Structure 1
Amino acid sequence: MSENDEDVRTILRLLAEARSLRTVRLRVFLTSRPEVPIRRSINLILEAERQDFILQDIPPAIVSHDITVFLQVNFEQIRNEVQYGAEWLGNEVIEKLVRIAGNLFIWAATACRFVREGKKFAADRLSLILKENLEDTSAADSPTDDSSTDGSDTKDHAIPPDDHLNGMYTTVLEHSANTPKDPTRPLRLHHPSFRDFLLTKGRCSKHFYVDERRSHQALAAGCIQLMSQALKKDICGLHAPGSQVSQVESSWIQKCLPPEVQYACLYWVQHLQRSDYQAYDGEEIHCFLQAHLLHWIEALGWIGKTSEGIQAILSLEAHILINKGPNLHAFIYDVKRFTLYNRLAIKQAPLQLYCSALVFAPGNSIVRKTFENYIPDWIQLKPKVQAHWNAALQTLEGHGAWVESVAFSPDGKQVVSSSGDRTVRLWDAATGAGLQALEGHGDGVRSVAFSPDGKLLPIL
């Protein structure tokens, strides 16, 4: 449709006059952004002769279902075009793509086109989409995000009292975001380009501009403050150290760890990294970890995000400069060794953090020394442990027989192992998390390796 307002009004007036036709019954389907000239012209048509349908008011479940069907059909076509096997794309991948799409059909369509144009490299392009988008998950993409502040005095960024500016804010929000009737609910963007607009100083006025670095710094600080207030030992009130995640109702975990607390636990390190804030010894981050490290790791265990927590610790270790915060860096390194060594216990029974994890940690472990008072009084006879962490970083458990062969992927990010139990297992090299188990062999698998491009696993 023409971008000229007068042309728009003319076209809509002609369409409205079509109702006077007697020999032809005409029904017009018109889609548009809610621009003022269009809305005013459409309002001239009697309500009895028109039906308004606001796309952003469609229930998210319906949109997600439609995007799921769209992706399933398109990726089935792509699979046939490039002649991939039926196992190439499972429901889990489709679900991840639907989540990343954020109810935006334009994203789903673009993703399909990007993968299809890769032809024989379609699988690589799909992996790239999943990797880049899942790693980029942060406040800017989350429904609990509050990106409306840059961390400075809120008085400087409150909506000005000027009526003209109030109207300008209202117009921008109406066109760019779904403003809920409940003021406590977050805004939902119609399109990610609005976020880009807010973060680009040259494209918007000072009243709209959001300083991304300062916003992430404010969000990181807010996450740390929230966790400091909400997290505690045995947050689910189970009391028994052997309580397993699989035995606890998910509804109870959600009640004890509401969405905003889960968000803070998962993303505070990402916000810290994006803020470019450098932490030093004895500052807020150091104090938080010295007080709530075990509480934080416990919470991640209950919500099934232990591996994500380990990845956050690895990122935090890389972020802290040893010459700027030597004590904090040493603490984070010890935290990494502690969590990698106890990953399986934390994943299955998070309260073991305060028992076996601390008791069997090396005597000179910073984590053990910091939280030794958490060891239960009923553990009277403590085992004799080594003074320092040994050379083994972590243990990968899952095979039911001797491991016959192990190999690293070309990029060093994955490990594959074969065993006499007739299985081949794929592991995340950084966190030790099991990624996939290949079953169906008729005998023990003696040897396994990655192909040079890392896509195939030759097996003997």
Structure 2
Amino acid sequence: MDASSRIECLTDTRTDILKFIVDWVNNSASDQSILWLHGLAGSGKSTLSTTIANIFREDNLLGAFLFFDRDVTERSDPTVVIRTLAYQLASSDHRIRAAVRAVIEEDLNIWLSPLSRQFRKLIVEPILTITNYFPTIIIILDGLDECGAPADRAALLDVLVKEFASLPSYFRTVVTSRAESDICDAFNFQSHILPHELDIKSHVNYDDILLYIRHHMSLTRNKNRHLQLGPSWPGEEILCQLVEQASGLFVWASTACEFINGYDPVECLEVILRAEATSGAQAALDAVYKTALESIGCWDDESFISDFRNLMGIILVTRQPLSSTAIDAFLHFPENRPCMHVISLLGCVLQQSLRVRVLHPSFADFLMDKERCGRDMWLFNQPTYHRQLAFCCLEQMDRALKRNMCNMTFSGTLTKDKLSEVASYSCLFWIDHICTISDDIAPVLDQMYGFLLQHLLHWFEAMSILNKARDTILQLNKLYVWMTVSILLQILN
């Protein structure tokens, strides 16, 4: 997903917080150069950050917009943030571009340096070489809590806290995240950071969600004119009841509206309204997810349960989202019952574009918490599915990899499209999945040994085709460390 495909705030909603952000940016007297917007999952942080980015892009003030995504490896790696930030800043201004290029030409291995040195050399020093006056430059980092695990992003937080203050005063940085403990510990009580919690209980937020639901009910009426729903359906009283059920969460409103926009909107609305009353935002979100899953109506069908669990398991653990065709290939869904048969029933919680993924990270959280989802058939243990996908990757590579697998001549051009999506994913991430396995490693070692014995050189060739040849040594070292530790633990136990 690129920035152009991200959803903005609905017109005339979030106006107060948008004005607050714009006023803070324009307040040149403030020494607080970082605004930290934090709130619960589903409170609309990403939609808000996208709207902010587009506002400042229109004014030619946007220097960089990074949005993190735990489902996509490239968007959840803290080690690449600074150089990505430098690239976007360089792309926004030719003077910055020239200064950054000079740094890279002088030190081609700058990307191997600690993040603090990367920040000083690739961002601060190039900026300071430019004497001409800049207008305000806005940097937006959305979803910082999705950028790696707490231990992985510690160095990045350190840069935000200690190094960002060295940027010139015309820089303003907006960071959005959940209030995770490591981020709170780093950001609280810092003089240059302005924390601001998104208040989901405010009357303004209530009114915004009401506008959102009213707008989407209008879309449902227009889509289903033959049902004669009436010009004011479902009525103001029902709209207000839905807003109360949302408990201040835009993701609840979004999920409920998608659910109501099904085959029978009247019945779907009744299902939502019949849901038991809850107290608290998370309980309300869990209730709408349970309603969406229960409404599928196939939970006494063992075949459906198996398909659902295999499908959701692979969606939850993939390092980057896969197409439905690739999922079919990995899981061997039969042609007369492809995974899209299940995906089509989950339209209010799954995104069904070119790649299949959960619509919101909170749904993945729900499925991995027994207390929240409440049913074993909805509970997913990630290591189980990492293990399954590791074996799938080895199987797919065993089928696809061979010498000169792309039938290239000496004059041919190596391009990524020479490899299938399944083969490409398997080559890139098989080691990642294997390294999550912590028990019963003997079957994994057996299959892995056979693969390496027959296909190691073929894998090198494939990684070269994918422009990832430099990653092979790092990946193999990671695998070696995992093998050593796993075998040692097995001996000790």
State whether TM-score is above 0.5: no
- Name the structure with the higher helix share: 2
Return the index of the structure with the highest Cα Rg.
1
Tell me the TM-score normalised to structure 1 length: 0.37
